[in-house]
Amino acid sequence: MYHLECIECHKRYKATEIIYTCSCGGLLDVIYDYSSIHLTKNDLKGRLSVWKYRALIPVGREPITLNEGGTPLYRVDRIAKSVGLKDVYVKHEGMNPTGSFKDRGMTVGVTKALELGMKTVACASTGNTSASLAVYGAKAGVPAVVLLPAGKVALGKLAQALMHGGKVLCIRGNFDDALKLVRDLCDKEGFYLLNSVNPYRLEGQKTIAFEIADQLGWEAPDRVVLPVGNAGNITAIYKGFKEFKRLGIIDSVPKMTGIQAEGASPIVRAIKNDADAITVESKPETIATAIRIGNPVNAIKALIAIRESGGTAETVTDDEIIRAQHELASFEGIGVEPASASSIAGLRKLARMGLIDKDEKVVCVTTGHLLKDSEHVLSVCPKPIEIDATIEAVRKAVFAGS
Ligand code: AN7
């Protein structure tokens, strides 16, 4: 019913093969026999969840699941007004079991690992992937080895990876070094690689597109804006919309719009330079540590997604990210980590540049929860005020400056 196929040379591989990239080096996609899939809106009634889309999830066994997906889609009128648009929504992926969209990929990826008989799972991570892998590894009862860039992972994510029993290794190097290392480790030790180069991870993450279409009343938005790091998610969401269109569930595919931090923006540069491939950045840097990535493994897929859909890519500064994080929190009550706020920062910038039409229906994906990175919050918010435990002191503090 499905197989793996190289996006470059179109070589096919059986779904039972343990392989992450083609022998030619190209990225792999999961391709279904779409003519045998009959999925209608009627089949998709009921509560949202990743596993509701089983017809388009390439796994046969009982899933390892913690009820991922079903995240809220909020209409954000105050943000919309502030950026000068009319119809803006936020899909808050921070509301997944471990607080990030990675859970959608991991429930599928770890279930696949068991189906393939793998005994240990592994990943490199800027944080969220490691938290999610540790959790799903724990639930599945398989050891999870995670490689992190030392000193560059938000505390909440590290805490999750540790508490859920991951073998947490902090390497002296950045994420790109960690990914290279873990790929080598998986080849040599037979560990199952669960970074987003693994096409099964993306099959879980594409359900973000399915849910957006459902939540908008079986309609695709005009545009989806999201942060881009390794570029797995933008690719996955694009694939999801394309599959729903192919099955006749929706009529159009949104313009995929990727946002990167200025200090880690190889995809944006490739889009702006009209280049076929990215130039690797050896020293990526941004306050949004989740997307502090200089060599995105899914770059080729992402460039295709952005170009084919008529989307674009843009950079935002760390200051713009912090402002957007505050706006989401204080205008809309949506708490997100810095990487996620880059989607709103990018929306503002693109709207200001006149690159988003005022009437477009736009969905911004906020990928991770505020509590992931509370250290950052404390560094950018005013300090709490300590006072004596008296009503006079409280009054004085409340009305200070007013
Ligand atoms: C909050 O956890 O790469 O473009 O190792 O945690 O699919 O990589 C995290 C990425 C956006 C970028 N927002 O997604 C990791 C990791 C948040 C993230 C991204 C990440 P991709």
Question: What CATH code would you report for 73-99+201-380?
Answer: 3.40.50.1100
Secondary structure in 3-state letters for 220-252: CCCEEEEECCCCHHHHHHHHHHHHHHHCCCCCC
User: Distance between CA atoms of 195 and 173, rounded to whole angstroms?
Assistant: 17
**Residue 373 has what pLDDT?**
96
Residue 402 has pLDDT above 80, yes or no: no
Nearest protein Cα to ligand 1, atom 11? 227
Q: pLDDT at position 401, please? A: 78
How buried is 16 (Cβ within 10 angstroms: 0-12 exposed, 13-18 middle, 19+ buried)? exposed
Range 105-130 average pLDDT: 98
Distance CA 10, CA 26 (A): 9
**401 CA to centre of ligand 1 in angstroms:** 41
Q: Supply the DSSP symbol for 159.
A: H
Of all protein residues, the one whose alpha carbon is nearest to atom 9 of ligand 1 is 290
Pocket of ligand 1 contains residue 312 by CB under 6 Å: no
Q: At what angle do helices 207-215 and 232-246 cross, to 10 degrees?
A: 60
With both helix axes pointing from N to C terminus, report the angle between 128-140 and 155-163 in degrees, rounded to the nearest 10. Answer: 20
Digit-coded pLDDT (tens) for 358-397: 999 999 999 999 999 999 999 999 999 999 999 999 999 9
Beta bridge partners of 261: 316
pLDDT, tens only, 236-262: 999 999 999 999 999 999 999 999 999
367 lines ligand 1 (CB under 6 A): yes
Look up residue 195 and give its amino acid: N
Query: What distance in Å separates the CA atoms of residue 212 and residue 256, rounded to the nearest whole number?
Result: 14
Q: What is the pLDDT of residue 355?
A: 97
Rounded CA-CA distance 214/258 in Å is: 22
Q: Which of 291, 340, 366, when mutated, tests ligand 1's pocket best, judged by the most ligand atoms within 8 Å of its CB?
A: 291
Distance CA 290, CA 156 (A): 12
**Does position 215 have pLDDT exceeding 90, yes or no?**
yes
List the structure tokens of 184: 């080598």
Q: For 187-202, what is the mean pLDDT?
A: 98
For residue 331, the CA-to-ligand 1 centroid distance in Å is 25
User: Counting runs of H as helices and runs of E as strands, what totals does the chain give?
Assistant: 14, 13
91 CA distance to ligand 1 middle (Å):
15
Q: Give Cα separations from 273 to 34, 269, 300, 343 (angstroms).
A: 35, 6, 14, 22
Residue 114 has pLDDT above 80, yes or no: yes
> Residue range 297-321: average pLDDT?
98
Structure-token pair, residue 159: 């805490």
Q: What secondary structure letter does DSSP report for 218?
A: S
Report the share of the chain in percent with pLDDT over 70: 100
pLDDT in tens, 317-333: 999 999 999 999 999 99
Q: Predicted confidence band at 132 (pLDDT cuts at 50, 70, 90)?
A: very high
What confidence score (pLDDT) does residue 97 get? 98
Nearest C-alpha to atom 13 of ligand 1 is from which residue?
A: 367
Over residues 196-205, the mean pLDDT reads 98
Total Cβ atoms within 10 A of residue 120:
17
Look at residue 139 and tell me whether its pLDDT is greater than 90.
yes
Does 231 sit in the ligand 1 pocket, CB within 6 Å?
A: yes
Q: How far, in Å, is the centroid of ligand 1 from the Cα of 192?
A: 19
pLDDT of residue 31: 98
Kindly state the tokens that stand for 347.
Answer: 């929306």
Mutation choice for ligand 1 from 292, 367, 369, 370, CB with most ligand atoms inside 8 A: 367
Q: What is the pLDDT of residue 352?
A: 98
Q: Determine the pLDDT at residue 288.
A: 97
**Residue 226 Cβ < 6 Å to ligand 1:** no
21-50 pLDDT per residue, tens: 999 999 999 999 999 999 999 999 999 999
Pull the structure tokens for residue 395.
């009054």
Average pLDDT value over all residues in the chain:
97
* Distance in Å, CA 385 to ligand 1 centroid: 34
Give domain limits for the chain.
1-36, 73-99+201-380
Ligand 1 atom with minimal separation from the 232 CA? 7
CB atoms within 10 A of CB 278: 22
Q: Mean of the pLDDT values across residues 87-109?
A: 98
